[in-house]
Amino acid sequence: MALIVHKYGGTSVGNIDRIHKVADRVAQAHRAGDQVVVVLSAMSGETDRLLKLAHEATPNPDDRELDMLLSTGERVTIALLAMDLRGRGINARSFTGRQVGIITDSAHTKARIARVTAERLHEALKHGVIPVVAGFQGINEQSDVTTLGRGGSDLSAVALAAALKADRCIIFTDVDGVYTADPNVVPAAKRIDKISYEEMLEMASLGAKVLQTRSVEFAAKFNVPVEVNSSFKEGKGTLVTREDADMESVAVAGVTGDRNQAKITIVGVPDKPGIAAKIFGPVANANINVDMIIQNMGLDSLTDLSFTVPRADLRKATPLIQGVAKDISAKSVSVTEAIAKVSLIGVGMRSHSGVAAKMFEVLSHEGINIHMISTSEIKISCVVDEKYMELAMRALHTAFGLDQPTK
């Protein structure tokens, strides 16, 4: 008998009809003899709706209260699914994050899981009960409700699979797997049968929201086999697993685009030691993650320094940087939101050369200007104007031979 964690995302539980379909699938797995633990998201759009309400209540809502509010969306879906299953005579029970012992730190709205006790899950499984668990939520040591960051139900599912030593964690969503690029942006994208944790981690953190980044990190750390599959149709999905020899045979496994960045440029920075620390120290202290940085040397011992920050942090970062710029006697600060980061990912880059050169050539051929570049062993990213992001993704997808053969 296999123990499988099923996670259903927002679209998959978006209305009662869809919840019935989820119940069908869970019932089928149960009948087939699997032990099933279900993790659910809130109905699609619900977390955004709650966030909007919070911002209507006050411009800058308190993080602890936000978590109290946002965690309610998942309570609705777990109760509805458990009722549906029980109505069919199947012994299911809903549980909140707290009830299954998902203990986190106190970083409200982006809490990290510290440990999972899972006592009630073991108990439920022992008695043949199907637990239906609220994703995205936990509690801190003070028993306050926390949430795990957007898309965090993926993390709940993987963490429970690790705690229960489940045979597999299946992420059921609105696509039938991980594709070589977001199929909604690149229609020629192909489903990938098998992808390494490392590539998936890069793809997720560079914009492929099909899996939450931290869920992939967690899966890699605890070696949880994750499958991504469609909740709407039967068929093969994508297995996220350890790297194997054939994965290196292609240079580029996937293309991503990320609109969640903004660029800040400080013009006329005096070129002397200690300046970078003066600029980035306060940014780090404000918990803002700087991603890419470039510095252009001018002739007059002044430099221009550009860097990217998450767009959501721009409101916090701008006054901070304006203050620092004044302190270091820089000339001015400019901010651009309309940028996007386009990236190529592949473990094969370790053994294939020339990927960067080809990427620059493809972008130049499309007349797309590159603002910033960054590379690591298995990825290359370029910042371009946001309006060219989708064009760049499609052109790169074709140029690196990832397009599906046309039928």
* Site membership for ligand ASP, residue 93 (CB under 6 A): no
- Shortest reach from residue 208's CB to ligand ADP, in Å: 4
x/- site string to Mg ion, residues 303 to 342, per CB under 5 A? Answer: ----------------------------------------
Q: Which is nearer to ligand ADP, 101 or 257 (CB)?
A: 257
- Shortest reach from residue 352's CB to ligand ADP, in Å: 20
Alpha carbon distance 404, 407 (integer Å)? 9
Q: Which is nearer to ligand ASP, 159 or 347 (CB)?
A: 159
* Site membership for ligand ASP, residue 218 (CB under 6 A): no
Distance set, CA 384 to CA 86, 294, 390 (Å)? 52, 14, 10
Among 74, 84, 182, 199, binds ligand ADP (CB under 6 A): 182
Two tokens at 302? 């002044």
* Site membership for Mg ion, residue 73 (CB under 5 A): no
Return the exposure string of 137-154: e unless at least 16 CB atoms fall within 10 Å of the residue's CB, then b.
Answer: bbbbeeebbbbbbbbbbb
* Site membership for ligand ASP, residue 20 (CB under 6 A): no
Other C-beta atoms lying within 10 Å of the C-beta of residue 51: 16
Among 148, 175, 288, 396, binds ligand ADP (CB under 6 A): 175
Rounded to a whole number of angstroms, the distance between the first and last alpha carbons of the chain is 41
* Site membership for ligand ASP, residue 75 (CB under 6 A): no
* Site membership for ligand ADP, residue 14 (CB under 6 A): no
- How many helices (H) and strands (E) the chain has is answered by 12, 20
DSSP tag of 251: S
Distance set, CA 259 to CA 88, 97, 140, 289, 389 (Å)? 44, 31, 32, 15, 8
- Residue pair 148/214 in contact (Cβ under 8 Å)? The answer is yes
Among 41, 77, 104, 306, binds ligand ASP (CB under 6 A): 41
Among 181, 266, 279, 393, binds ligand ADP (CB under 6 A): 181
- Shortest reach from residue 89's CB to ligand ASP, in Å: 29
* Site membership for ligand ADP, residue 213 (CB under 6 A): no
Alpha carbon distance 402, 397 (integer Å)? 5
Interaction site with ligand ADP (CB under 6 A): 9-12, 41, 151, 173-175, 178-179, 181-184, 208-210, 254
